[in-house]
Amino acid sequence: MLRIALMYVSSRAVAEEVVQETWLAVFTGLERFEGRSTLKTWLFRILTNKAKTRGQREGRTLPFSALAADRDEEATAVDVDRFLGPDNRHAGHWAAPPRGVPEERLLAGEARAKIEAAIDALPPNQRTVITLRDVEGLSAEEACNILGVSETNQRVLLHRARSKVRAALEQYLEETA
């Protein structure tokens, strides 16, 4: 919960307050829970609403460049030559996994730090979706409910986020190889 709150507010202390406020809201509003979603989804929806409100109240602003990066429809998320061509039996699949990846390096804390840095560098919407889906393990439906986005929008944001994180990891692995 703290990790999600940190996406909307400027400091860890404020995020901790948001988590506390969320738990208070859950306990005081539990009788109003209608069961139309899972309790987890309801809780995370309260958390994101509280964090968004708190972030706006704190006067947090986003630069225009961050908003533009989320709307890069003209650019492909991944170079087309990274996929197998139409003449291949597995057309559209990745042409090759990351090169030169010893298991020890993937398990090392340095690689994890690079992945976390790549996630932190993502535009806000992409960062939120990949955190909910891949870090927190929520389903697509739960992420859509929490964020209030369509399934298609969530899928596009997640694809772009994963592609950028993969590219950053591959770049790191090539530099160290």
- Domains delineated in the chain: 1-61 (no CATH), 63-177 (1.10.10.10)
Q: What is the pLDDT of residues 74-128, one digit of tens each?
A: 556 667 777 787 888 777 777 776 565 556 655 667 778 888 899 999 998 899 9
Counting residues of the chain whose pLDDT is more than 90, the rounded percentage is 24
Asked whether 129 and 157 are in contact (CB, 8 A), the reply is: yes
Q: What global pTM score does this model have?
A: 0.55
Q: What pLDDT, on a 0 to 100 scale, did the predictor assign at position 175?
A: 79
